Amino acid sequence: MIEVEDSIVIARPIGEVFTFVADQTNAPRWQEGLLEVRRVTEGPPGVDTKHVVVRKFMGRKLELTNEYVHYEPNTKVTFTGASGPSRFEAEYLVEATAEGTRLTCHMQMEQKGLFKLGDPLVAASLRREFAANLQKLRVLLETTAD
């Protein structure tokens, strides 16, 4: 099992940070390797919202569908998905701080069969990706502030 977590403080109000990250169609703007995200359910985001995600990871192009399994505005969104032999659960948690909003991103991934042998390499790649993505998100949200 792969487990990765990182957090960052963004100098923006909690509502702005949550709304931006909970709308996964924004994700290609701040997540490296993410080529496209399409929401496939109607209406505002909430439990059962589904997205089709196209990303490049470790040299491979992957297409997967994810689904929101928990959605608590201005607090937490959790989504699950699968691609080939891998299943994952990811979570964005926001908390108000004196400096703005702390965003914590957490992911658990389970790979099946021989793919499990690559867990240490995948985990290291995800850790680097999380750190870089959070920095990019912070810059994006803080420089586009009113």
Total-model pTM: 0.86
3-state secondary structure string, 90-135? EEEEEEEECCEEEEEEEEEEEECHHHHHHHHHHHHHHHHHHHHHHH
Short-list 80, 112, 101, CA closest to 9 = 101
Question: What CATH number does domain 2-143 carry, 3.40.190.10, 3.30.530.20, 3.40.50.970, 3.40.50.300?
Answer: 3.30.530.20
Helices and strands, number each (H, E), in the chain: 2, 7
pLDDT, tens only, 109-146:
887 776 666 767 777 777 888 899 999 999 999 997 55
Fill in the DSSP letter of residue 12. Answer: S
Write the pLDDT tens digit of every residue in 52-101.
Answer: 999 886 677 888 899 999 999 999 999 998 766 678 899 999 999 999 99
